[in-house]
Structure 1
């Protein structure tokens, strides 16, 4: 079971008001005016000494999921279908703030909230999808909230599928091997995301094998996401995820704010065009847009692999 260290709890109303004021002003302004914080203590090299048992204020996290929806896009000039998907979140959740950052704003976020070494590691990622993967973990670790891919349409109000006492919300994928990371939610500074972010930094600071066919999946994608969840919650590698989340052991984690969703429950609330791959979700320009993005990633993967061999 996960041991939680909590500092002073902020009243949820204060969190909501603070979030709305900061985000309404400007998402980028948040990054500029806030005091810079480094994930690692040493600004010149990776240092994980702060993971010791000595109490650290960065271990503390809020016990509620802030009412903020985070999404990323390559640029703010998105297809009409993508814009409609995004608006579905705002229409159904008018009391939530929705923040959409493009590539340049994502870089500014990382530059501000992480140190120079960490920023360079992020900036040097060879493929845009790896940056998108990593950023979603970084921003949820820092601020908490709901994350959803830009091609995800919302069909149910967030309150209908995320209970008020949840602190981490996730569903397994259909393949039963990984947890879904195109939509999830968490409280700020949650231990799962702390471990996930530090683990990715640790692995990317070493020798990255870009020749491995599934290096994106392994270093920043669902494999990295799932491994950290298993590690923090003590779920063995042999456990089948769809079966595990229905066990009494998994259900008992609810007292720690761990809220499992079945894939059916997530599907009832959300639709992800790429993940579902169904014709009804790949119309109005979605299929062309996704195909073009996929081709770009394939090209980048090949370039990265060749560069590592030279």
Structure 2
């Protein structure tokens, strides 16, 4: 029978022990350090976020980006009035509208090759529109709003006493508020046609990485199907990452129920997330807009109807769903 040299055995065991420790350290470092796709690592913005307040900046996107171009579309929609409403209601805010060419340049200038490759791979404009809104706010911070939205009240009034918020969104629907037997309607969902965040917000970083990973591994056939759009980068994706971010700070979005108080704002101090009640960003559908009895009851209350969403990019003949 062959006898194993004790010194050699000790050496092998020591090597295995060291390898195990290194593997654990490597795994832990990967968990705690999420890939940041933004370029220029020496930039101050690339440092761990201090989560400052949300900057006074409005970001939008559209195929054209000038008043002259928008005016040519009059009669088809009120795009000019919608865009100008953001400037008129918020004169102290900067207002940026990126057209398609500028969007390509923005991604190329601010994100790594992996993100650029995913961007170029996307066959549907709506997929790019979803990624772009997260990317713009991740780099610059501020308020994003779709091109078919109209600002009704100054952005500063949205916050109420919660100016220290680092993320702001409106509830699209509350948990179990729909009777449809569909999993997505069993959870609270946030609006992503209008929302705001501080630069380098972790929830946006996680959302961007999620989209890039999905696109990188998905087939063109999968990415070309409109039925997959919302699962790739839509509101359910953003909501999930905001939920995870809140939970990491000891707050729980799942505990959010229908609010029926005077204002309906809900501020989570630990995560500094401010959630506005339903209809805040789709005011034209609010009960008080449709029912004069409800309107009379709420007349003395502070209005949280801040934005009209005209759904021109969704359900109209040329909307992405059609």
Q: Cα distance, 1:252 vs. partner? A: 6.5
Q: Is 2:59 aligned against 1:70?
A: yes
Q: Cα distance, 1:138 vs. partner? A: 0.6
Q: 2:272 aligns with which of 233, 257, 267?
A: 257
Residue 142 of structure 2: aligned partner: 145
Give the 4+ runs in structure 1 shifted more than 6 A: 235-238
Q: Per the alignment, do residues 242 and 216 of structure 1 end up closer, same or farther by CA in structure 2, a change over 3 Å counting?
A: farther
In structure 2, distance between residues paired with 1:231 and 1:172: 16
Q: Does the CA-based 8 Å contact 1:195-1:232 persist in structure 2? A: no
Q: Cα distance, 1:175 vs. partner? A: 6.6
Q: Per the alignment, do residues 117 and 155 of structure 1 end up closer, same or farther by CA in structure 2, a change over 3 Å counting?
A: same
In structure 2, distance between residues paired with 1:61 and 1:199: 22
Q: Per the alignment, do residues 95 and 241 of structure 1 end up closer, same or farther by CA in structure 2, a change over 3 Å counting?
A: same
Q: Does the CA-based 8 Å contact 1:71-1:148 persist in structure 2? A: yes
Post-superposition Cα deviations, 1:72-94, rounded to whole Å, max 9, x if no partner, equal: 00223333311110101111110
Q: Per the alignment, do residues 211 and 97 of structure 1 end up closer, same or farther by CA in structure 2, a change over 3 Å counting?
A: closer
Q: Does the CA-based 8 Å contact 1:178-1:241 persist in structure 2? A: no
Unaligned runs of 5+ in 1: 1-47, 275-285, 300-310
Q: Does the CA-based 8 Å contact 1:153-1:271 persist in structure 2? A: yes
Residue 131 of structure 1: aligned partner: 128
85-94 or 253-262: bigger deviation: 253-262
Residue 181 of structure 1: aligned partner: 192
Q: Is 2:291 aligned against 1:291?
A: no
1:3-82 superposed matches below 5 A: 49=30, 51-52=32-33, 58-76=47-65, 77-78=69-70, 79-80=73-74, 81-82=78-79
Q: Per the alignment, do residues 244 and 196 of structure 1 end up closer, same or farther by CA in structure 2, a change over 3 Å counting?
A: farther
Q: Cα distance, 1:49 vs. partner? A: 4.2
Residue 203 of structure 1: aligned partner: 214
Residue 201 of structure 2: aligned partner: 190
Q: TM-score, normalised by structure 2?
A: 0.64
In structure 2, distance between residues paired with 1:231 and 1:61: 18
Q: Does the CA-based 8 Å contact 2:164-2:272 persist in structure 1? A: yes
Q: Cα distance, 1:226 vs. partner? A: 1.4
In structure 1, distance between residues paired with 2:277 and 2:118: 34
Q: Does the CA-based 8 Å contact 1:155-1:269 persist in structure 2? A: yes
Unaligned runs of 5+ in 2: 1-28, 35-40, 176-187, 284-304
State the structure with more CA Rg: 2
Q: 2:309 aligns with which of 247, 272, 288?
A: 272
In structure 1, distance between residues paired with 2:244 and 2:51: 21
In structure 1, distance between residues paired with 2:228 and 2:259: 27
Q: Cα distance, 1:62 vs. partner? A: 3.9
168-177 or 102-111: bigger deviation: 168-177
Q: Does the CA-based 8 Å contact 2:215-2:223 persist in structure 1? A: no
Question: Whose RCO is larger (CA < 8 A, sep 6+)?
Answer: 1
Q: Cα distance, 1:198 vs. partner? A: 1.2
Post-superposition Cα deviations, 1:121-158, rounded to whole Å, max 9, x if no partner, equal: 11211110110111000110111000011111111011
Q: Does the CA-based 8 Å contact 1:148-1:183 persist in structure 2? A: yes
In structure 1, distance between residues paired with 2:316 and 2:96: 25
How many equivalent pairs are there? 234
Q: Cα distance, 1:199 vs. partner? A: 1.4
Q: TM-score, normalised by structure 1?
A: 0.66
* Structure with the higher helix share, 1 or 2: 1
